[in-house]
């Protein structure tokens, strides 16, 4: 069902936020459908290989709309994960703290 661990995490996060009452499942489905439609209109129809990227875009959109995080916070968190991924030796688990340390070091240089 999930090709990458982040896909399962994004799925679980959407379910948990809905269960917590931040948005209804119908609202979620509508937002995801809008993301898929927008991608198709831009010439990127989903053949299934990018489904969870659209899932994540819909989740980020709802998180911003509901005031759970702003665009800057989301961008920082993405940068932290990207740095953590690059700093992690092959075969080892990626830890967010590694990315945060790398980004902090880069800012102080």
pLDDT classification of 101: cutoffs 50, 70, 90: low
Above 80 in pLDDT, residue 108?
no
Pairwise CA distance, residues 24 & 18, whole Å: 6
Total count of residues recorded for the chain: 109
Please report the pLDDT score of residue 107 as a whole number: 66
Pairwise CA distance, residues 16 & 8, whole Å: 12
Q: Render pLDDT for 60-93 as a digit per residue (tens, 0 to 9).
A: 999 999 999 999 998 888 888 888 878 888 888 8
CB atoms under 10 Å from CB of 98, counted, come to: 18
- Regarding predicted confidence, which is higher, 10 or 84? 10
Q: Which helix (H) or strand (E) holds 73?
A: helix 71-87
Please report the pLDDT score of residue 102 as a whole number: 64
Q: Could you give the angle at the alpha carbon of 96 between the alpha carbons of 15 and 3, nearest 5°?
A: 50
Buried b (16+ CB within 10 A) or exposed e, 20-34: eebbeeeebeebbee
Q: Render pLDDT for 19-76 as a digit per residue (tens, 0 to 9).
A: 999 999 999 999 999 999 999 998 887 778 889 999 999 999 999 999 999 999 988 8
User: Minimum mean pLDDT among 9-18, 25-34, 51-60, 98-107: which range?
Assistant: 98-107
């Amino acid at each position: 069902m999930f090709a990458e661990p982040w896909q399962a995490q994004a799925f679980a996060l959407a379910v948990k936020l809905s269960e917590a009452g931040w948005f209804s499942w119908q609202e979620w489905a509508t937002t995801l459908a809008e993301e898929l439609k927008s991608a198709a209109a831009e010439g990127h129809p989903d053949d299934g290989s990018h489904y969870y990227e659209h899932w994540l875009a819909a989740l980020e959109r709802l998180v911003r709309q509901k005031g759970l995080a702003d665009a800057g916070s989301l961008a920082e968190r993405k940068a932290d994960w990207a740095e953590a991924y690059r700093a992690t030796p092959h075969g080892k688990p990626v830890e967010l703290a590694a990315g945060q340390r790398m980004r902090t070091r880069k800012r102080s240089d």
